[in-house]
Amino acid sequence: MQVLLISTYELGRQPFGLASPAAWLRRAGALVECVDLSRHTLNAEQVRAADMIALYVPMHTAARLAAAAMPKIRMANPRAHICFYGLYAPVNEAYFRSLGAQTILGGEFEAGLVSTFKRVRSNGNGSGPSAAQAEPVISLGKQEFIAPDRAGLPPLARYAHLNWPDGAHRTVGHTEASRGCKHLCRHCPVVPVYNGQFRIVQPEIVLEDVRGQVAAGAQHITFGDPDFFNGPRHAMEIVTAMHREHPQVSYDVTIKIEHLLHHAALLPTLRDTGCIFVTSAAESVDDSILARLDKGHSYADFVRVVELFRQSGLALSPTFVAFTPWTTIEGYCDLLARLAELDLVENVAPIQLAIRLLIPSGSRLFELDEVRALCGPYDPAAMVYPWANADPRLDDLGADIQKLVRQGEKEGQSRRAIFLKVWNLTQSMVGNTARGIPAFPIRASRATIPYLNEPWYC
């Protein structure tokens, strides 16, 4: 039986969410083809040949793109059993089923995909009463992983690369050491599915996956874990072993501000084992917004982390939700000014200056009376609850900055140049009543800060 696994978007990375289930399904006897629509166009012949088609939806953009692909998929193959899997599958279950999905799998999805494959195989084309989904929509069962199988995926050289401090480009691989998160940040899309739990991928499996990617040309590894320090002992065991085996390979991880403070003693080990930057969801420089998001840190904590990173020689790559219902013009100006004062302009991907809060189904933000009051009815196709800022200028500013950033990135403008354009646009809106254009402190040139060339979207 033929299974077609489809990924639409995963931040320019070769998708672990295809490679891992491909290995499980092939072991179960499936003939598996993998298609990454961020690098390939959808092949009608592949679609027609498939008995089961599973679309990977780990994030909002991926889910929207997968939904948009469904009419073409259904037109080419109305008989295939359709499955959506990944973080955004269960919270959009009703909408995906309305598009023709018969199986929805969230959380730890590999075992569920194998079960679905066997169910469809035993029922011919997967139709009929006995073909109804038996697998849990959300499974948090502990899995014994097997090494991902990346056969059939585009080569790593076709994915995002690392811009290295010496000006060279490094080929990037991607793996996962854990899923889920033990924290409950109100705005986080992981929370409705994992609800404060996380699951690890066994170290030997992670290392085998890294080994295979290094053999395929990877010079840098991105760990896609929502938070690498959910299990710090597990994390450090992996990077220590990886560095011992591949001392020439660098890596990056994502870690909460809260964890970076609590485990500050581990920062030198991260540096010494090849970590060159850490992504961290700072989200805001406004303590009242951080409290609403239940982030577990303050602006002062963020500043302390910036200092710790400078002392350790690591690069910090903070991310932000720049536009929220509580953002004001003055508050946005303050965000820009503080990034300049902290000398973080080069550390922040320009798209982070334009990110707008998404409120998905199941969001903990609905614990707040003010959120329930400001949101409109859920929009299934947009996969969010719509909201508008009380000051309509903020919504216009956010849209204008998105256009400005995208144009700047398309033209290859520097982060500093784009930042200054954002600054000037914002100043023009407030009539230059906020602080003047900041004088940038010179602590590091752009060439000393490593970064991936794929912009960060939601």
Q: What is the DSSP string of 227-295?
A: -TTSSHHHHHHHHHHHHHH-TT-EEEEE--HHHHHHTGGGHHHHHHTTEEEEEEEEE-S-HHHHHHHT-
Residue 165's pLDDT is 73
Residue 431's pLDDT is 79
Say whether pTM exceeds 0.85. Answer: yes
Contacts for 377 with CB less than 8 Å, ≥ 6 apart: 385
Pairing of β 178-180 and β 198-200: antiparallel
List, edge to edge, every strand of the sheet that includes 451-452.
315-320, 275-283, 250-254, 220-223, 169-175, 161-163, 451-452
Contacts for 393 with CB less than 8 Å, ≥ 6 apart: 329, 429
Tens of each residue's pLDDT in the chain, 458 residues:
999 999 999 989 999 999 999 999 999 999 999 999 999 999 999 999 999 999 999 999 999 999 999 999 999 999 999 999 999 999 999 999 999 999 999 999 999 999 999 999 998 754 444 468 999 999 999 999 999 999 999 999 999 999 887 778 999 999 999 999 999 999 999 999 999 999 999 999 999 999 999 999 999 999 999 999 999 999 999 999 999 999 999 999 999 999 999 999 999 999 999 999 999 999 999 999 999 999 999 999 999 999 999 999 999 999 999 999 999 999 999 999 999 999 999 999 999 999 999 999 999 999 999 999 999 999 999 999 999 999 999 999 999 999 999 999 889 898 999 999 999 999 988 876 545 555 655 454 444 688 888 766 66
Distance CA 451, CA 163 (A): 5
Residue 158's pLDDT is 95
Q: What is the DSSP string of 62-87?
A: HHHHHHHHHHHHHHH-TTSEEEEEST
Residue 447's pLDDT is 46
Residue 128's pLDDT is 44
Residue 449's pLDDT is 83
Distance CA 456, CA 458 (A): 7
Residue 35's pLDDT is 97
Residue 237 CB burial class (10 angstroms; 0-12, 13-18, ≥19): middle
Residue 458's pLDDT is 64
